[in-house]
Amino acid sequence: MPLRLIESLTTTESLAEAFSDISVLQAMLDFEVALARAEAELKIIPRSAARTIAKLARAGNFDVAALARETLRAGTPGIPVAKALRKKVQRIDDTSADFVHWGATSQDVSDSALVLVLRKCAAILDADLNRLEAALLELIARHKDTVMLGRTLLQPAPPITLGLKAAGWLGSVRRGHARLSSAFSDVLVLELGGASGTLAALGKRGIDVGERVAKKLNLRYPDAPWHTHRDRLAALVCACGILTGSIGKIARDMSLLMQAEIGELSEPGGSGRGGSSTMPQKRNPIASSITLAAANRVPGLVAAFLSGMVQEHERAVGGMQAEWTTVASVIQSTGLAIASMAEVAEGLTVNRKRMEENLESTRGTVFAEKAALLLSREVGRERAHLLLEQATDPQQPHHRTLSEILAQQPEMQGQISPKVLNRLEDPQDYLGVARQFSDRLCGPPKRRLRRRK
């Protein structure tokens, strides 16, 4: 399914297809088929009726536009879909038509269809997350010793490595991936409760039917229907919100490091990628922009879902109707953020020379902490801090480095040896346990809960 122009910056093609009219409609019809077959096996409805229902339950046989118009009047898509299926069956076998949607209610159809669509999305998001994690691991391995400026409050700070920075990205993505996998695992459960959640229309066979329907759809069967209990969906939406925020943080870092004044990283280019309609020289951080847009959009959607969790009794007024587009938007935005950053990580250009130049441009001032620690042993911590403040004053001549300034100050004579001063601005000598932290973050990911396929 081609992307709609208005959705082109909010989803990927695969996720747009998962939430397409045909996909959603087929999921609803799959529920109806599974219900009919389960009931036929238990001799609640005739086997011939189940065969006829299964034969006709193909999304291509239906007028989607007409169903959409009728949904607006019915308040739920389950009603017009069941009605349309019943009419098609009636044309072949009037008796079989009576057994379409037997014992179910419209929200059973809608909720179960949503869960089936979410299962498709789980596989899509999982694949792109695996791509992103693999690309970050490769980036870390290549740049485990690539030194760059640390930056705190957007100002230069003591050096770090690109490997450690990317390992931090990887750690947050892995944690988010684990949360998302767990949430998807929990949400893939059948909804079948009938009119008010008791399956009374099926007599004492309700659980038997439900278990068989769940098995046919490869879903778990819950302890009881969940018409107005939306906590599983809420957990999934929240997991998406956290993960999108983590990926947005990567995009923020990358876009800042792409600024011309910094120039340490570059997104992959290509025809039509990152250009400007008026400035030919521009190489814009397009994937980062799309990711940041998703990270800005998702928190409001998460809040909207959570505010709709307070639903009345056994069937809410407007609750389910509010959720469909919210869940779809959250999943698609999250998926777009993941796919965009995976593409960037796979084709990222690293400019080591600019990293070195940016570090050198600080004239050693980022090593003031190191110098203060050395001096404090001789003159005390407060005095050392004051001396370093003076030495790193912006009014100091720009052509001198910190070690040169310290070497010329009378109070420094004899306090720090020339040998130590000569090594003061060696970044490799002030990386602490950066490599160990990076290695810890790159260890095997924590075991994720397995999802049903």
Instruction: Give residue for tokens 């999250």.
Output: 334
Q: What is the mean pLDDT of residues 201-222?
A: 97
Residues 109 and 252 in one domain: yes
Does residue 311 carry a pLDDT above 80? yes
Residues 257 and 349 in one domain: yes
On whether residue 4 sits in a domain, the answer given is: no
DSSP letter for 366, please.
G
Residues 173 and 284 in one domain: yes
Q: Which amino acid is residue 449, in one-letter code?
A: L
Q: Categorize the per-residue pLDDT at 276 as very low, low, confident or very high, splitting at 50, 70 and 90.
A: very low
Residues 305 and 255 in one domain: yes
Q: What is the mean pLDDT of residues 123-151?
A: 97
**What digits encode the pLDDT tens for the residues 240-267?**
999 999 999 999 999 999 999 999 999 9
Residues 212 and 239 in one domain: no
Instruction: State phi, psi for 220 to the nearest 5 degrees.
Output: -80, 150
Q: Categorize the per-residue pLDDT at 397 as very low, low, confident or very high, splitting at 50, 70 and 90.
A: low
Q: What is the CATH number of the domain that holds 114?
A: 1.20.200.10
Domain range for 41 is 11-104+201-216
**What digits encode the pLDDT tens for the residues 2-45?**
677 878 889 999 999 999 999 999 999 999 999 999 999 999 99
Residues 352 and 285 in one domain: yes
Residues 82 and 121 in one domain: no
On whether residue 415 sits in a domain, the answer given is: yes
**Are 173 and 244 within 8 A, CB to CB?**
no
**pLDDT of res. 448:** 53
| pLDDT over 90 percentage in the chain | 76
- If one compares 339 and 384, the residue with the highest pLDDT of the two is 339
Residues 29 and 67 in one domain: yes
Q: What is the CATH number of the domain that holds 59?
A: 1.10.275.10
Q: Which residues contact 80 (CB under 8 A, 6 or more apart)?
A: 66, 67, 70, 71, 74
**Residues labelled as active-site residues:** 276, 315
CB-CB neighbours of 166 under 10 Å: 29
On whether residue 6 sits in a domain, the answer given is: no
On whether residue 196 sits in a domain, the answer given is: no
Residues 276 and 391 in one domain: no
Helix 21-41 vs helix 206-216: crossing angle, to nearest 10: 130
Does residue 222 carry a pLDDT above 60? yes
Residues 283 and 143 in one domain: yes
Structurally, how many domains does the chain consist of? 3
Residues 263 and 342 in one domain: yes
- CA 20, CA 14: separation in Å to the nearest integer? 10
Residues 249 and 337 in one domain: yes
> Average per-residue pLDDT in the chain?
91
- CA 26, CA 34: separation in Å to the nearest integer? 12
- If one compares 271 and 110, the residue with the highest pLDDT of the two is 110
**What digits encode the pLDDT tens for the residues 154-193?**
999 999 999 999 999 999 999 999 999 999 999 999 999 9
Q: What is the mean pLDDT of residues 302-327?
A: 91
